[in-house]
Structure 1
Amino acid sequence: MSVRSEPLPAAATRGRFLSDRMVAGLLTAAVALPLALFFLLPLLSILARSFETTAGFGLGNFSSALSTARFWQLVANSAAMSAMSTVLGVTLAYAYAYGLQRACVPGRSLLRIVALMPLFAPSMVQAQGLILLLGRNGALNRFFDAGIEIYGFWGTAIANLLYAFPYAFLILSASLAIADGRLYESATVMGAGPFRIFRTVTLPATRFGLAAACFVVFTLVMTDFGNPMVIGGDFNVLATEIYNQVIGQAQFGLGAVIGVVLLVPAVIAKVLEKRITRRQHALLTAQSRPLVIKPALKRDIGFALYLYTVAALMLSVVGIVVFASFVRLWPYNMELTLKHYQFDVQNGIAPLWNSIAVAIATAFLGVLLAGAAAIVVNKFRNPLTGTLSLLAVLPSAVPGMVLGLGYVLTFNSPSNPLNFLYGGFFLIIVLNVYYNHSQAFLISSTSLGQIGDSFDEASTMLGAGVLRTLFKVTLPLIWPTLLGIGVFYFMRAMVSLSAVIFLITPSTQVAAVSVLQLSDRGALNQAAAFSVCIMATVVGCLLLVRLILVLAGAKNVTLIR
């Protein structure tokens, strides 16, 4: 006996179509409007303010800035420091990733966690650690009379190297994780040695990842604000100059000019990265055989020494910060104490609770907005999806300080109807959302792309509309990814400094800014205690969510991408 399904009545089909079209339109508007208000408008404000002079619109601000020797010295400082950090950082990260992926070294999980540690703390924690180790009152200079001078160019370059190391490591580790074993077998049969195989097979196969790592690290270092402020001394860069001009002298026009200058290399690096990685071809085909890493005593011992040496150095930088938070007065009184965790400083412990509240709100709002953007772009094709897709990934090319300054220029204007938001937590939350929007959008889109169309088709054939399909089919399939994105947003909001520095008021102080201000005042112990609390909060969040995923059976979801 066969059962023939009757088609839906024409009126019902038409009603559902109109309903689906309305849902798609509302979702598209809900994604497009916040993107325009809280990302595109601040960028346009930066551009407009850079051309605004007392005599009207013109190039006066640019000619005034570009005609001074100090400006070009700042450009040279930023470029030289960024280039040095990029070359050293990518080289060290490549060797580290290669050792983990292509050698048999014990404790690889631990070594990977150590490589990712800078992600759990504000950027200037690296500078804090270097000062405590190598500064004038650092452990080596104080107790061993090493005579090391860490402040200035080299201190800033090394601190930024450590800060950007995990970003390069993640990219290069992914590039080295996949390889066609046939190529290596052929090279070995033809008599090629390990170095020649690396030069002719491995390096060409990873050149796209290497280029992407260089562009990402250069952009991060060029626009970083925390490390130069803490350890730079008399060595100034463009990022610190924006802060000095806007906060110190209220020179918003000049700050906007420097913001545009910082924006240019970031955009160029992003465009080049996209063009180069677009040319990357598949390394594995249906005929490929995975590369099997076999033990080799000399190679494995050599990489084990390198990996554990680098890990020890990274641990020492973070470890000295943790230790200093328990010392009564570094380096004069090394008695252990918990007094610095009483937070008897201005605002007390309130900035930490503010950071946690902001991070939680950022996680919820970020998942909602980034997830909705990915759903609209991937599921609801319309004339706006192309533009929305471009705007959704564009924030990755915008430095945090530039976007933060754009928020000041946009929402601090009395003529803006949204001026009432200025000075509150909401703008800080939204800024964190859109500053990190690109990564969250791309992760959501990748997850959606892994869901076959058959699920949507089956739901539609059963009479469900797009909204019901979304809640009953799509979201249940991608919830582990959305949870991972929430963790990503929480972590980034907890450690964010450069993006929010211009929006902070005494009533909206966050922990990362407290670390900077305490370091600037020389209160190293209190700054270290705040840093430890930030790191402990982030790690606690990661462990909690990992436990949730394990209990739910989603054990293979990666929380840090």
Structure 2
Amino acid sequence: MTIPSRKFLSLALSVLLFAALLFWMYNALAGSFGAIAENHYKKAAEVAMGSVPSKDEAIDGWIRRISGPSRDFELLFLKGFPEDKGGMKVFAPTPALGEFFALHGKDRDFARGIESAMYDEIYQPAQRFLLGGEERRVLFAPAHDGETGDVTGTAVFLFSPGGFDRFLSLLRGLFLLALVLFAAVFAVAGYSRDPITGYVILGLFTIVGVFVAYPLFEAVRLTFLKDGKFSLETWKSILTTRQYVTALKGSITLGAFTATASTMVGFLFAFVISRTKLRGKKFFSAMATLPIISPPFSLTLSIILLFGNNGLITKQILGLENFTIYGLGGLTLVQTMGMFPIAFLTMVGILEAIDSTLEDAALNLRATRWETFKTVTLPLSVPGLLSSWLLVFTNSLADFANPLILSGSFRVLSVESYMEVTGMNRLGHGAALSLLLLLPTLSAFLAQRYWVSRKSYVTVTGKPSGRMTELVSPGVKRVLVTLMVLIVLFLFSLYGTIIAGCFVKNWGIDYTFSLANFREAFERGWRVLLDTMTLAGAATPIAGILAMIAALVLARKKFPCKRLLDMLILTPFALPGTLVGISYILAFNKAPLILVGTAAIIVINYVIRELPVGVEGGLASLKQIDPAIEEAASDLGADTPTVFRTIVLPLIRPAFISSLSYTFVRSMTAVSAVIFLISAKWYHLTVLIYNFSENLRFGLASVLATTLIVIVLLTFGLLRLVVRKNENLAKTMSI
């Protein structure tokens, strides 16, 4: 017998033995719990039968009293016996119980139960009976006269075995999970050359399986259920209701407007910063990234303070009466200011990577700067432009915070989904609406991939030039810089308005200077701020370390289902926050993992939601590191954890610290998913800011938003001190 055959035989025998042990344990536990349940049924019957009234007119009231909604049984009382002269009287408090007796009264188990009661014995048949479509355990107990002690009838108790069945189902699930884990661990130990890596891969699959695939499956499954049975009614309602179709059109319209405007503004900043000689590049770069790291409500709050119904500009300065910022126009403005940094960050890398020798060649052939830009630079920027548009479009569709406050009568799916869950308690409709958001996102993604794949955009074929050619004339440059300055000034006014809102009594009514907002805001929000920082602080190291481990495994190891693991890790990035929140409620509000209402579910949500960004950053860094360095350490006897700790982690330190910072900041400013997961014990600062804004307490909202911005900026300031840009990548500019 060969070595692999022996290993397989050993694995099979071990799994079979472990399965037999689990089967024995399951039967023992099920039998013990079944005996406890039967004893509970008997005691409940004995207690109930201690007060049987002798008068017929009092029996109905007695039955309703002892088998009320708080009990786990229903009661059917049979006074007398079939052999008596007057026969047997049936007391059924509900028509369903009357029909039940008419259907089963002559069954063999009923005859035996009545006979046992006549001989003062309790009888419990093994068979289950149906009552109203639900299974019931039946128990027959004798009823005694209170004075003589004689048996006067039979009480038929119908107990709901739901708790017992759920326990057995949970027990089967846990034992099956134990068997799968045992087989996986044993297989890794027996077949893997590097068991530690095998266990890490197994752990990653377990994490994404439990916290990504399982919640998403529960959300999708719920949309096809009604009253516990398969149904398409939810989707029929979603796709035929005009309100939801209007909301879908609204989301797509808003996403298209925002993506187009944001891509234009982001390209403007990226082009001027990367392709022109400009003073203050660091300042403009910082301003172009500021909105993405600020709380989601901050710009919306300042827009309302400036342009709302009682806004400083619309009401106090211009005196406008019929103007409104609520709706598509206001949302497009806010989302453009908040999301153009996504396009900027995407385009900067694309524009810096374009080899300027192609532009030089066009200029040497006497093309004008505009013709060179139009025929060379802009076409080569198409992948970045499409990616920017797609990223902003996706973020706009998933945006929940801004439309929640500023949409007015304009409908979008993210808010409709939230209202279905919180306002109407229809989780199925909320999940279906969130899933519907994936349709335009996937369509845009596939269109972008198809467009980019049709052409080649390769420019780096050898050693790229370290020199940049400025493509704009001084006059055009002044126009572009002026546009950038105007946008920066507008951003300054928005953030300045938030700060100013902290120091006035009541914005829009009383602009008197006051510090009362600080006192009240911190009195009401101090504990929430501590909760938010505690939860974000707990999630940050977990997400950072897990992201680097996953990146190392995906970049350096070959194993079955590698693409599946990669896809599952990246899936949360593509899901709307509302869908993630709803799916977590569905998955973790029942056994075996009851996490709803705890801090754990919020921390897990942070980790899983921000894991894709950390993994992508780690993968990008690892691609720049020669694997021979790790192989040399392994050849010298270092095991996998030692290699990771002493070689990999120091080399990918910038990506690791960026992942930590990103997770902390996103956790501090999260809203779309966490708004479904907060509880009275664990609250979140962004939700409190939203509540203050909704109740027109703009001063309190401004204080907390400013506090959040300061915390985020301090975090990024520390990041800049720890990780500095590699100066070797800098390029010189030629004019």
**What TM-score do you get using the length of structure 2 for normalisation?**
0.70
- Counterpart among 34, 40, 61 of residue 234 in structure 2: 61
- Within a 5 Å distance, the mapping from 1:311-460 to structure 2 comes to 311-344=488-521, 347-412=524-589, 414=590, 416-419=591-594, 421-460=595-634
**Match 1:535 to one of 687, 691, 709:** 709
Aligned counterpart, 2:637: 463
> Matches of 2:716 and 2:728 in 1, distance apart?
14
Separation in 2, partners of 1:288, 1:374: 28
Give the distance between the partners of 2:573 and 2:697, measured in 1 at CA.
34
Q: Which residue does 2:76 correspond to in 1? A: none
Q: CA deviation at 1:546?
A: 2.6
Equivalent residues of 2:525, 2:685 under 8 A apart: no
Q: Does 1:210 align with 2:385?
A: yes
Tell me how far apart the structure 2 counterparts of residues 505 and 346 of structure 1 sit (CA, whole Å).
19
Alignment of 1:482-497 (within 5 A): 482-497=656-671
User: After TM superposition, which residue ranges in structure 1, 4 or more long, deviate above 3 angstroms?
Assistant: 16-20, 267-282, 293-296, 343-347, 553-557
Q: In structure 1, what is the equivalent of residue 311 of structure 2?
A: 138
Alignment counterpart, residue 33 of structure 1, candidates 200, 206, 210: 206
User: 1:125–1:209: structure 2 CA closer, same or farther, 3 Å change rule?
Assistant: same
Answer with 54-63 or 166-175: which moved more: 54-63
Return the letter of the residue paired with 1:232: S
CA shift in 2, pair 1:277/1:430, >3 Å: farther
Please name the residue that 1:76 is paired with: 249
Give the deviation of 1:20 after TM superposition.
5.5
Secondary structure of 1:335's counterpart equals: strand
Give 2:435's aligned amino acid. Answer: V
The answer to whether the aligner puts 1:155 opposite 2:330 as a matched pair is yes
Contact 2:529–2:684 (Cα < 8 Å) also in 1: yes
Does the 8 Å contact 2:420/2:430 carry over to 1?
yes
> Which position in structure 1 is the counterpart of 2:465?
289
Distance 1:486 1:402 in 2: 24
CA distance, structure 2, for counterparts of residue 286 and residue 530 of structure 1: 52
More moved, 313-322 vs 484-493: 313-322
Amino acid at match of 2:400: F
Are 1:211 and 1:273, in contact at CA under 8 Å, matched by a contact in 2? yes
Confirm or deny: 8 A CA contact 1:122 1:497 kept in the other structure. Answer: no
- Give the aligned partner of residue 371 of structure 2: 196
Q: What is the aligned counterpart of 1:255 among 430, 443, 451?
A: 430
- What is the identity percentage for the equivalent residue pairs of Structure 1 and Structure 2? 25
Aligned to 1:245: 420
Q: 1:336 to 1:277 in 2, by over 3 A?
A: farther
SS at match of 2:194: helix
Cα 1:154/1:141, change in 2 over 3 Å: same
Q: Deviations over 1:55-80 (max 9, x none)?
A: 71121101112111111111111111
Cα distance in 2 for residues equivalent to 1:237 and 1:345:
33
- Out of 261, 266, 269, the residue aligned to residue 88 of structure 1 is 261
Superposition TM-score, scaled by structure 1 size: 0.91
CA contact (8 A) 1:325 1:525 kept: yes
Provide the secondary structure at the position in 2 that maps to 1:512: helix
Which of structures 1 and 2 has the bigger CA Rg?
A: 2
Which secondary structure does the structure 1 equivalent of 2:511 belong to? strand
Paired residues of 2:518 and 2:703 also in contact (CA < 8 A): yes
Does the alignment pair 1:227 with 2:402? yes
1:177 aligns with: 352
| TM-aligned CA deviation for residue 556 of structure 1 | 9.1
Q: Give the aligned residue type for 1:164.
A: M
Which stretch of structure 1 is more off in the superposition, 469-478 or 217-226?
469-478
Matched, 1:48 2:224: no
> Secondary structure at the residue paired with 1:292?
strand
Q: Is the 8 A contact 2:525 2:688 kept in 1?
A: no
Q: Deviations over 1:173-223 (max 9, x none)?
A: 221122222221222222322222221111110000001011111110011
- Relative to structure 1, is the Cα distance of residues 236 and 326 closer, same or farther in structure 2, using a 3 angstrom cutoff? same
Counterpart contact for 1:28–1:376, Cα < 8 Å: yes
CA distance in 2, matches of 1:287, 1:428: 48
For residues 486 and 549 of structure 2, the distance between their equivalents in structure 1, rounded to whole angstroms, comes to 44
- Is the CA contact 1:321–1:532 (under 8 Å) kept in the aligned structure 2? yes
What secondary structure is seen at the aligned counterpart in 1 of 2:592?
A: coil
User: For the Cα contact (< 8 Å) 1:52–1:58, is it kept in 2?
Assistant: yes
- How far 1:514 moved relative to its partner? 0.9
* Partners of 1:218 and 1:443 in 2: CA distance: 22
Q: Is residue 403–residue 412 contact of structure 2 (8 Å, CA) maintained in 1?
A: yes
Higher relative contact order (CA 8 A, sep 6+): 1
Looking at structure 1, the residues matched to 648 and 427 of structure 2 have their Cα atoms a distance apart, in angstroms, of: 46
Structure 2 unaligned residues grouped into runs of 5+: 1-188, 730-735
Q: Distance in 2 between matches of 1:368 and 1:446?
A: 16
CA deviations 1:225-256 (Å, max 9, x no partner) are 11111111122210000111101110111111
Task: Deviation per CA, 1:327-381: give whole Å up to 9, x if none.
Answer: 2221332233332222458843112111111111121110122112112212232
Deviation at 1:411, TM superposition (A): 0.7
CA-to-partner distance for each residue in 1:475-510, whole Å, 9 max, x for gaps?
222223211110010111111111211101122111
Counterpart for residue 517 of structure 1? 691
CA RMSD of aligned residues (A): 2.3
Aligned with residue 654 of structure 2, among 480, 505, 509: 480
Bigger shift: 213-222 or 476-485?
476-485
Between the aligned partners of 1:304 and 1:75, the Cα distance in structure 2 is: 37
Q: CA deviation at 1:274?
A: 5.5
Q: 1:269 to 1:436 in 2, by over 3 A?
A: farther
CA offsets, 1:447-498, max 9 Å, x none? 1222112112211221222222222221222223211110010111111111
Could you give the per-residue CA deviations for residues 409-446 of structure 1, whole angstroms, max 9, x where no partner exists? 1111x3x2111x21111111111111122111110111
Query: After the TM superposition, which of the residue ranges 84-93 and 262-271 deviates more from structure 2?
Result: 262-271
Moved more, 186-195 or 202-211: 186-195
Partner residue of 2:87?
A: none
Cα distance, 1:230–1:346 mapped onto 2, change above 3 Å: farther
Per-residue displacement from partner, 1:121-157 (whole Å, max 9, x unpaired)? 2222221111111111111112222523211111112
Aligned to 1:187: 362
In structure 2, relative to structure 1, the CA distance for the partners of 1:556 and 1:549 (3 Å cut) is: farther
Query: What letter matches 2:570 in structure 1?
Result: V
Q: For 2:319 and 2:371, how far apart are their aligned partners in 1?
A: 41
Query: Contact 2:521–2:704 at 8 Å: present in 1 too?
Result: no
1:266-305 equivalent positions in 2, closer than 5 A: 266-273=441-448, 281-294=457-470, 296-305=473-482
Q: What is the distance in 1 between the residues matched to 2:358 and 2:726?
A: 35
Whether the 8 Å CA contact 1:266–1:399 is kept in 2: the answer is: no
Contact 1:423 1:504 (C-alpha < 8 Å) held by counterparts: yes
Alpha-carbon separation, structure 1, partners of 2:501 and 2:727: 36
| Distance across 1 between alignment mates of 2:449 and 2:571 | 12
Distance 1:283 1:226 in 2: 40
The answer to whether the 8 A contact 1:97-1:172 is kept is: yes
Kindly state the Cα deviation for residue 296 of structure 1 after the two structures are TM-superposed. 4.2
Shift of 1:522: 0.8
Cα distance in 1 for partners of 2:394, 2:262 equals 13
8 Å CA contact retained: 1:263, 1:402: no
